[in-house]
Structures are given as C-alpha cells and as structure tokens.
C-alpha cells in the first residue's frame, strides 16, 4: 500500500508499497479508452478507471483518455467511475474482444438531489472536527504519484445534521512540484469508506512551497448524519514522490487504497492531520 508514516527521532516505522516491475509494463498489453458525458458528449477528465478489488488502476487525463494494463485479468472486471456519474463495469474478457482502437465509454449523469434538511429554533454551533496537528516530524502521506492513490481518515461528528464548511490539512516538509488532487467525502460502513457524499468532484491545487491546504466546502452543501471519511486522491501526473501531511500518534488510523477501485486498508498507529470546520 502506497502510504508510509515517519516518527520523530526514528527511522521509518514502516514503508509498504507494491511495486510493479518496469519490464511488466513494457511488455503488457495496454488497453486504451476514452470517457465522455453521455448527454453532452463532452470529454470527462479525471475519471477513475481500475480493476475491481485490485491495485491496478489509473485516472483519465484532461482529454478523457486513459491507458491501463489488463494482461492476466481476463476473469476480472474493469470499473469506470466518477462522482456525479453512474459507474459502469465491464468483464475484461468481453472488453478486449475485437479491441483495436480507443474504447469509448459514455457515463450517464447521476441526478441525485441534495437532501433537504429542516431545522427550526436551532442555535448553530461551530466546531473543528478531526485531527488538527501541524507536526513537521510525524507525518503520513503519498509515497508515489500513482494515479488514483488515496489517503484519508474517519472523522466523528457531535450531532446530526452537521454541515461541512471547510477542509484543512497541514503539509509536512516541502512540496517539490505543483500537483492537482481531488478531495473526497464518503459514508462509513464496517469501519471503512463506503459511498460518496458529495455530488461533484472537488479539486485541490497544491503549489510548490505551500504549507497547508484549505478548501471552502460551502458551495458543495455536504451534510452528514454520522461519522464520515475524508480523503485526498492523486489524479494527475507530476514529478516528485508525493506529498506528506502532518500526523499524530494514537488518533484515527490512516486509511488508504492504492488505486480508485482497490480495497481500502488501515495503516499504522498514526493518524493524518485532516480536519473540517463544521456547523451542527
């Protein structure tokens, strides 16, 4: 799993990362595709593409194009998904039959309505939920720029409904190159992330030299009734070895997945410093 945690005054506590050999990618058959909006026919950038339950996946580029190695996965399924659209899954054995040019996938918009919340005679309270550490010595984060790599934490609320107003994260160390990430919110089931909470993608641009991430969430009207999971996802190629975030011991464990369709896993004893400003 592409996550590591470093503690002050110690060597790396653990560093677990699955590497695919260069020779495999050099010789593997690459499947190339393109993703469009089924209604507007517009190209869809930053769509998640991956083998369900496996650590093989990618994200479409700004022109909606992607390529993925499918060799040896005939019995598996490929899933194409994006917040705001209905996902599609294909049996890989069927997908590659007669394949010769770009496979076009048209995603249908998911027209979910924002949940109506009525509150009367209620005095709102503002609170910061989650891990507020700014530590520069204990940190956790991406170890590579593999597209779809995602890291986050579960955050508990005080009372329902809770309105999420602002996301915050402290960056540990230096950002070597400007990158684009996606901020994701999920419900929680069985102690792991489950279904997306937001209705559209929330993009985060991190520039070289930045020391924190702050995202205004009010335009997205995200309301939660129970604990939720918040994560950052790597969605565009960039130089460097990823971003490290402030972390602290004995807090909510880091939960991550190597690509967008891979299984979620809990990692280590330190929690990443993600928090939200909220009203309840």
Exposure class string for 162-183: b at 16+ Cβ within 10 A, else e: bbbeebbbbbbeebeeebbbbb
User: CB of 256 within 8 A of CB of 271?
Assistant: no
- Of all residues in the chain, the percent with pLDDT exceeding 90 is 68
Please determine, for residue 227, whether its predicted confidence score (pLDDT) is greater than 70: yes
Q: Measured between alpha carbons, how far apart are the two ends of the chain, in Å?
A: 35
The structure's pTM equals 0.86
Binned at pLDDT 50, 70 and 90, residue 120 comes out as low
Please determine, for residue 11, whether its predicted confidence score (pLDDT) is greater than 70: no
Quote the CA–CA distance of 64 and 99 in Å, as a whole number. Answer: 18
Count CB neighbours of 72 within 10 A: 12
Which domains can be identified in the chain, with CATH numbers? 16-107 (2.60.40.1120), 116-279 (2.60.120)
């Amino acid at each position: 799993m592409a996550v590591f945690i470093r503690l002050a005054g110690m060597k790396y506590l653990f560093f677990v990362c699955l590497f695919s050999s260069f020779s495999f990618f050099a010789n593997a058959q690459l499947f190339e595709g393109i993703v469009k909006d089924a209604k507007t026919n517009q190209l869809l950038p930053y769509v998640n593409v991956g083998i369900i339950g496996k650590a093989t996946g990618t994200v479409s580029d700004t022109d909606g194009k992607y390529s993925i190695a499918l060799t040896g996965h005939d019995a598996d399924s490929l899933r194409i998904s994006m917040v705001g659209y209905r996902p599609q899954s294909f049996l890989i054995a069927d997908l590659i039959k007669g394949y010769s040019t770009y496979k076009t996938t048209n995603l249908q918009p998911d027209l979910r309505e924002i949940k109506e919340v009525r509150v009367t005679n209620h005095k709102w309270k503002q609170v910061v939920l989650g891990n507020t550490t700014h530590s520069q010595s204990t940190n956790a984060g991406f170890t590579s720029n593999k597209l779809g790599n995602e890291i986050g934490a579960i955050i508990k609320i005080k009372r329902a409904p809770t309105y999420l107003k602002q996301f915050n994260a402290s960056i540990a160390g230096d950002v070597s190159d400007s990158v684009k990430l996606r901020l994701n919110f999920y419900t929680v089931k069985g102690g792991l992330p489950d279904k997306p909470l937001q209705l559209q993608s929330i993009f985060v641009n991190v520039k070289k030299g930045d020391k924190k991430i702050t995202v205004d969430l009010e335009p997205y009207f995200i309301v939660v009734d129970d604990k939720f999971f918040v994560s950052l996802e790597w969605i565009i190629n960039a130089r460097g070895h990823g971003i490290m975030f402030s972390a602290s011991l004995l807090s909510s464990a880091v939960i991550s997945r190597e690509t967008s369709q891979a299984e979620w896993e809990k990692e280590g004893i330190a929690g990443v410093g993600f928090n939200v400003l909220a009203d309840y």
